[in-house]
Amino acid sequence: MRPTSTAGTGRRRSATSGCGPPCTPNPPTGNAERAITGLYALLGRRRPRFHWAASPRQAVDLLDEPPLRLGGPVDPAAPWHVAHQLADAAHRLAGRLDERAGPVGTFWWTTERIVRTRPPADALAAGVSLAELLVVGVRNSLGRSVHDGLRTPLRAALTEAVGEPPGLRWHGQHDAPWVAYHDVRRRLRPGLFHPDDDRQVDLWADIARSCGWWWPREDVCVVTERTGVAHTEALPGALHGEVRTHNRHGPAVGYADGWGGHSWHGTAVPAWVIEEPTVERIGAERNVEVRRCAIERLGWDAYLDQARLTLVAEAADPGNPGCRLQLYDLPQHVWGTPARVLLAVNGSVERDGHRRRYGLSVPADLDDPVAAAGWSYGLSGEQYARLLRRT
């Protein structure tokens, strides 16, 4: 199931661009405001003033509040008390909705394994109940795509920009996993929920469709526009359409004001990894995952050229006349574990007439470049040496 939050974003940009924060709400923002006002009303509160932000980064400036100290007694006079009440109400709503699902949630791990490893129709045929399928196929899969996927680079970028961002917030479009899960269940079985709960689900669904992250406060609510861009790729091995974020040219998830979070094949990374990766910055980076992503972004050929790594061995490339295979050692402090990289040359030319070089990471116990190239196709060095042609 595709995360609905990636679609239809940025539709009111033209109307709000150019105005200073807080932006004047345009007609569609009325949907979010109406729904949030509905939630305030459930708590016996009146409609708050709405401040619209182009991005969570801008929202933090609008909020301008010190970090919350949680854990102590709840202070009813605190400006965020409304957020506390809302969290409580949402928690109780989710509890009631889950109750209507029956025994799901405690299903056998064998069942879960079937749903995780087989396409939906096969899982149903194998005896998995529809209710169980919906947990894994809708709630969990959207959780992977939206919480782990879209939200993660934004949270990382916000933390990098402002430190711990203000808490007690909701995520609008990025709250889709639990909202969509309950919405699908009630569409499949009208009357499943109590009418009062149906109305609450309507409010949360309206919010998920019409805004981004939002911070409810006393008399004021800071609401972020939906994302303007979301670059994703299929999560390898996904059975339910799960995606991960990836963009090699800019923010993977971004807003109309240009702010966003960067991601490399699903790993949240600082902007420099995507925008200006250099050997120096890679050397100075403490996080090994970020280093690896930055090397891949820079390209193995460029990295090996500039980082002066140790050449273990080189050999003629079988089936690729005039080209060489080069095996390099990657220092453990760079990769976090012993590793080697095989640098090879493409068998076909690019449009500009040159041949692209590419690096493949290979097991660290290989010493022979031909054996390393063979390993990449599950072949021995002797077998790979018989390669006749490469294109």
Partner 1 sequence: MSMTLEELTDRTGLTVLDHLEQQVRIPVVDGLQAQGDLIVIPLAVLDDVDVPARARWRPVPPSGVELLRGAAGGNPHTLVAEPGAAEWTTEVHDRQRLAVGVLRATRPAYLIHSEHGGSGIAPGTYLVRRQRERSTQRGGQADFLVAD
What does the binding site for partner 1 look like in residue numbers (CB under 8 A)?
233, 236, 246, 289, 292, 296, 319, 335-337, 339, 346-351, 353, 358, 360-363, 376-379, 383-384, 386-391
Question: Residue 191 CB, nearest distance to partner 1 (Å)?
Answer: 41
> In 3-state terms, what secondary structure has residue 263?
strand
Give the CB-side neighbour count of residue 92, counting CA atoms within 13 A: 9
Please say which residue, 168 or 387, places its beta carbon nearer to partner 1: 387
Please say which residue, 106 or 337, places its beta carbon nearer to partner 1: 337
Question: Residue 256 CB, nearest distance to partner 1 (Å)?
Answer: 24
Q: Which of 5, 32, 54, 62 is nearest to 206 (CA)?
A: 32
Pairing relationship of beta strands 243-245 and 253-254 according to DSSP bridges: unpaired
| Paired strand residues for 205 | none
Ramachandran area for residue 255 (φ above 0: left; ψ -120 to 50: alpha; else beta): beta
Q: CB–CB of 22/51 below 8 Å?
A: yes
Q: CB–CB of 342/326 below 8 Å?
A: yes
Question: Residue 268 CB, nearest distance to partner 1 (Å)?
Answer: 14
Please say which residue, 91 or 249, places its beta carbon nearer to partner 1: 249
Q: CB–CB of 132/26 below 8 Å?
A: no
Please say which residue, 63 or 269, places its beta carbon nearer to partner 1: 269
Please say which residue, 42 or 302, places its beta carbon nearer to partner 1: 302
Q: Which amino acid is at 387?
A: L
Please say which residue, 157 or 295, places its beta carbon nearer to partner 1: 295
Question: Residue 332 CB, nearest distance to partner 1 (Å)?
Answer: 11
Q: Which residue has the tokens 């909020």?
A: 63
Please say which residue, 201 or 312, places its beta carbon nearer to partner 1: 312
| Paired strand residues for 24 | none
Question: Residue 309 CB, nearest distance to partner 1 (Å)?
Answer: 16
Question: Residue 243 CB, nearest distance to partner 1 (Å)?
Answer: 11
Please say which residue, 165 or 266, places its beta carbon nearer to partner 1: 266
Strand locations in 239-375 (E) = 243-245, 253-254, 260-264, 267-269, 310-316, 324-330, 339-345, 357-362
Q: Which of 217, 215, 185 is nearest to 198 (CA)?
A: 185
Q: Burial level of 309, CB count in 10 A (0-12/13-18/19+)?
A: middle
Q: CB–CB of 220/174 below 8 Å?
A: no
Question: Residue 42 CB, nearest distance to partner 1 (Å)?
Answer: 43
| Residues ≥6 apart with Cβ < 8 Å to 353 | none
Question: Residue 390 CB, nearest distance to partner 1 (Å)?
Answer: 4
